[in-house]
Amino acid sequence: MKKIILIGCGGHAKSVVDAIEASGAYEIIGFTDTAEKADFCYRGYQVLGDDTRLPTLFEKGVCEAFVCIGYMGRNRLRNQLYCTLKNIGFSLAAVVDPSAIIAKDVKIGEGTFVGKRAVINSAAVVGKMAIINTGAVIEHDSVVGDFCHVACGAVLCGGVTLGANSMVGANAVIVQGVSLPEDTFVKAGALRKGS
């Protein structure tokens, strides 16, 4: 079984750990995080040091990594960590909770998280480093750009395009065929229609 290091140990990391354990796809060796979180432990996984340990872990055969830092105001940090990990040589796994429903022809980019009971329907494409959170729905033919976050219960109806670095808040709905540019923020509970 491949070993994986998790970057960041906040709340989102707990969802990632649960999905990885449920899938049985990787052996989690622990977290990296700041010195302030050195004593953090979740389900027996501990912080092994800060991100300066990553090259050493890679040299010791840990070739998979996953960024567990959530989107909220930290997308620039997620992007920097992605670049750092790729420069070291890590592969970034896509982590999909086994309860998610994913159509056979869906494409999911590296480093993306798909949470519990999320649905991604036929011919949808989800870019790299995206977060498709609990119960979110990405309908057929939709495209979710790199580094996007579709929050809990949000719905992208058929043929929606969501530009890179965008956030769709909890329980928001984007009506079919709408295209939103990069860096869009859709607030929780909003309804976005075409113009």
Domain boundaries, the chain: 2-93, 94-190
67 phi and psi angles, rounded to 5 deg: -85, 115
Q: Is the pTM of this model over 0.85?
A: yes
Q: Give CB contacts under 8 A, 24+ apart, made by 40-45.
A: 40/9, 42/9, 42/13, 42/14, 42/17, 43/17, 45/6, 45/17
Query: What is the predicted pLDDT for the residue at 60?
Result: 96
DSSP 75-134: HHHHHHHHHHHHHHT-EE--EE-TTSEE-TT-EE-TT-EE-TT-EE-TT-EE-TT-EE-T
Q: What tokens appear for 143 in the block?
A: 């495209």
Q: What tokens appear for 54 in the block?
A: 């990553």
Query: What is the predicted pLDDT for the residue at 195?
Result: 65
Residue with tokens 């649905």: 119
Query: What is the predicted pLDDT for the residue at 75?
Result: 79
What CATH code would you report for 2-93?
3.40.50.20
Query: What is the predicted pLDDT for the residue at 88?
Result: 98
Question: How confident is the chain (195 residues) per 10-residue block, as mean pLDDT?
Answer: 95 96 96 92 95 96 96 81 97 97 98 98 98 98 97 98 96 97 96 84
Q: Structurally, what CATH architecture does the domain formed by 94-190 represent? A: 3 Solenoid (2.160)
